[in-house]
């Protein structure tokens, strides 16, 4: 039977920093970030956005035209958790008005937990085809100021409706996997910024790719040439280039022209290049980028590599469904990205340094331009979320926005 992705949408915060600006302030050659890392911009969430509001925004759009009563389970993947006990998905469940019989869990294994959600969702709908699952992946990628990781920050969320009527991509249940205990990237509970051994993490990523691919071949018997396009986990888009050349070499395709190999990944990089890293969401934002960037993928097989530091990796595959272009949210994504506002370096640094209170006091967050949900404040250690009533196409309020950002500079 068929099962897979019926709908996919992502959300990126309304603010970004141009990496040329960051390079100037860090005394780096802009080409190191633009070409060496393959990143142009990085998304910056204001204080009234977090993994819940970003996830709810992505899911709101992905659920357009889907009967919420059919959602059996919400699987929320993140490595930017806001609570050690309560699943962030429960807030999203409430904000979206999902039925009380719909379950909600949070999943963790670095950037790979979104794929754990997808695999669990596939198993669920294959067993009970009348049900749907909603996978939401949402993260804020945050490294120390002035560290090598700083230009690979970003934030965003993606939501996938998984069902037995996959209008976009039918995913195979067979996949390859690989797990190894390594310390390439981690974030102890007491830290807000991740710690990363960057160069080592790239090596482990490539080793995990080899091993997950080998297992995938054992499970499916497929070859490199059976796949028309490839999507990779994207901590920065240049990583996909490294990964794809690595896989091509491993499978005896290393001598193929560079342009031919790059054409197999290029469309998947467009969104991530301007959103930045979004950890659990980044692979699937890449998948949305691919589907929305090419109109003739009907019936084509995709290779999908998921990597989560620490580490766990999975190699998945699926076939793009006939007529998929009619079920995408490309216009919505284009408008969201086009309307974003650029921050100066000082504005970015001020937002970075902003911290929510941890003493339980009542606190109202400044009102920034967000999507349809915002973190209104905190009280007695409880997060308070609110819905924003506005038309889908209502434009951003540029002046009010500038005032809100300036408030953080004061």
Tell me the C-alpha distance between 71 and 98, whole Å: 8
Decide: is 198 part of the binding site for ligand COA (CB under 6 A). Answer: yes
Helix, strand or coil for residue 44? Answer: strand
Question: Which of residues 190, 199, 326, 331 is near ligand COA by CB under 6 A?
Answer: 199
Helix, strand or coil for residue 17? Answer: strand
Minimal distance in Å, beta carbon 66 to ligand COA? 32
Are 161 and 62 spatial neighbours (Cβ–Cβ below 8 Å)? yes
Q: Which of 233, 333, 368, 408 is catalytic?
A: 233
Of all residues in this chain, which one has the CB nearest to ligand COA in the complex? 36
Q: Select 35 or 334, whichever has its Cβ closest to ligand COA.
A: 35
Q: Select 171 or 245, whichever has its Cβ closest to ligand COA.
A: 245
Are 269 and 240 spatial neighbours (Cβ–Cβ below 8 Å)? yes
Is 399 a catalytic site residue? no
Is 339 a catalytic site residue? no
Q: Select 152 or 267, whichever has its Cβ closest to ligand COA.
A: 152
Structure tokens that stand for 44 in this block = 């910056």
Tell me the C-alpha distance between 276 and 343, whole Å: 15
Long-range contacts at 95-98 (CB < 8 A, ≥ 24 apart) = 95/52, 95/53, 95/56, 95/373, 95/385, 95/387, 96/56, 96/59, 96/60, 96/63, 96/68, 97/68, 98/68, 98/71, 98/74, 98/134
User: Of the listed pieces 10-18, 34-42, 113-121, 174-182, which binds ligand COA according to CB under 6 A?
Assistant: 34-42
Q: Select 66 or 202, whichever has its Cβ closest to ligand COA.
A: 202
Question: Which of residues 66, 82, 182, 202 is near ligand COA by CB under 6 A?
Answer: 202
Decide: is 29 part of the binding site for ligand COA (CB under 6 A). Answer: yes
Binding mask 274-313 for ligand COA (x = CB under 6 A): -----------------------------------x----
Question: Which of residues 148, 254, 323, 357 is near ligand COA by CB under 6 A?
Answer: 148
> What are the backbone angles phi and psi of residue 193, rounded to the nearest 5°?
-105, 145
Q: Select 36 or 293, whichever has its Cβ closest to ligand COA.
A: 36
Decide: is 180 part of the binding site for ligand COA (CB under 6 A). Answer: no
Decide: is 201 part of the binding site for ligand COA (CB under 6 A). Answer: yes
Decide: is 35 part of the binding site for ligand COA (CB under 6 A). Answer: yes
Are 35 and 199 spatial neighbours (Cβ–Cβ below 8 Å)? no
Q: Which of 6, 40, 49, 79 is catalytic?
A: 79
Interacting positions 306-365 with ligand COA (CB under 6 A): 309
Q: How far is CA 156 from the centre of its chain?
A: 6
Relative to beta strand 154-163, strand 229-232 is unpaired
Q: Select 113 or 152, whichever has its Cβ closest to ligand COA.
A: 152
Tell me the C-alpha distance between 229 and 300, whole Å: 8
Relative to beta strand 373-379, strand 363-364 is antiparallel
Q: Select 61 or 306, whichever has its Cβ closest to ligand COA.
A: 306
- Give the interface size with ligand COA as a residue count (CB under 6 A): 19
Q: Strands of 146-248 (E only): list them.
A: 154-163, 169-171, 176-179, 185-186, 195-196, 229-232
Q: Return the CA Rg of the chain.
A: 20
Is 79 a catalytic site residue? yes
Question: Which of residues 149, 154, 166, 318 is near ligand COA by CB under 6 A?
Answer: 149
Decide: is 32 part of the binding site for ligand COA (CB under 6 A). Answer: yes
Minimal distance in Å, beta carbon 196 to ligand COA? 5
Residues 6+ apart with CB under 8 A from 131: 70, 71, 72, 73, 124, 125, 163
User: Of the listed pieces 16-24, 33-41, 83-91, 120-128, which binds ligand COA according to CB under 6 A?
Assistant: 33-41
Tell me the C-alpha distance between 246 and 240, whole Å: 10
Q: Which of 40, 93, 111, 244 is catalytic?
A: 111
Chain residues in the site for ligand COA (CB under 6 A): 29, 31-32, 35-37, 148-149, 152, 196, 198-199, 201-202, 205, 235-236, 239, 309
Write out the catalytic residue numbers.
Answer: 79, 111, 233
């Amino acid at each position: 039977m068929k099962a897979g992705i019926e709908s996919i949408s992502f959300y990126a915060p309304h603010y970004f920093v141009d990496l040329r600006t960051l390079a100037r302030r860090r005394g780096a050659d802009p080409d190191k970030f633009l070409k060496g890392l393959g990143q142009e911009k990085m998304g910056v969430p204001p204080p009234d956005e977090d993994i819940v509001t970003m996830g709810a925004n992505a899911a709101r759009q992905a659920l357009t035209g889907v009967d919420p009563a059919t959602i059996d389970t919400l699987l929320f993947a993140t490595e930017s958790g806001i609570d050690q006990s309560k699943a962030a998905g429960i807030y999203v469940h409430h904000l979206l008005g999902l039925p009380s019989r719909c379950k909600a869990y949070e999943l963790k294994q670095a950037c790979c937990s979104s794929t754990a959600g997808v695999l669990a969702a596939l198993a669920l709908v294959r067993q009970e085809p009348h049900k749907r699952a909603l996978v939401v992946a949402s993260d804020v990628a945050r490294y120390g100021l002035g560290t090598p990781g700083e230009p690979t920050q970003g934030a965003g969320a993606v939501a996938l409706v998984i069902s037995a009527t996959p209008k976009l991509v039918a995913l195979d249940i067979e996949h390859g996997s690989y797990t190894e205990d390594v310390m390439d990237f981690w974030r102890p509970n007491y830290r807000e910024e991740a710690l990363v051994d960057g160069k080592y993490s790239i090596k482990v990523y490539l080793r995990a790719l080899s091993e997950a691919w080998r297992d995938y071949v054992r499970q499916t018997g497929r070859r490199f040439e059976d796949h028309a396009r490839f999507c990779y986990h994207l901590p920065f888009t240049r990583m996909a280039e490294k990964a794809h050349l690595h896989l091509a070499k491993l499978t005896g395709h290393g001598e193929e022209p560079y342009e031919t190999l790059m054409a197999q990944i290029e469309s998947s990089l467009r969104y991530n290049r301007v959103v930045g890293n979004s950890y659990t969401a980044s692979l699937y934002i890449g998948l949305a980028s691919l589907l929305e960037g090419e109109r003739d993928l009907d019936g084509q097989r995709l290779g999908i590599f998921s990597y989560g530091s620490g580490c766990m990796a999975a190699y998945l595959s699926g076939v793009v469904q006939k007529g998929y272009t009619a079920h995408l949210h490309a216009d919505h994504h284009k408008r969201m990205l086009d309307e974003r506002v650029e921050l100066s370096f000082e504005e970015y640094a001020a937002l970075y340094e902003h911290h929510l209170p941890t003493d339980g006091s009542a606190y109202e967050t400044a009102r920034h331009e967000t999507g349809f949900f915002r973190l209104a404040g905190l009280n007695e250690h409880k997060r308070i979320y609110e819905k924003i009533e506005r038309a889908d196409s209502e434009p951003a309020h540029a002046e009010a926005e500038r005032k809100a950002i300036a408030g953080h500079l004061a």
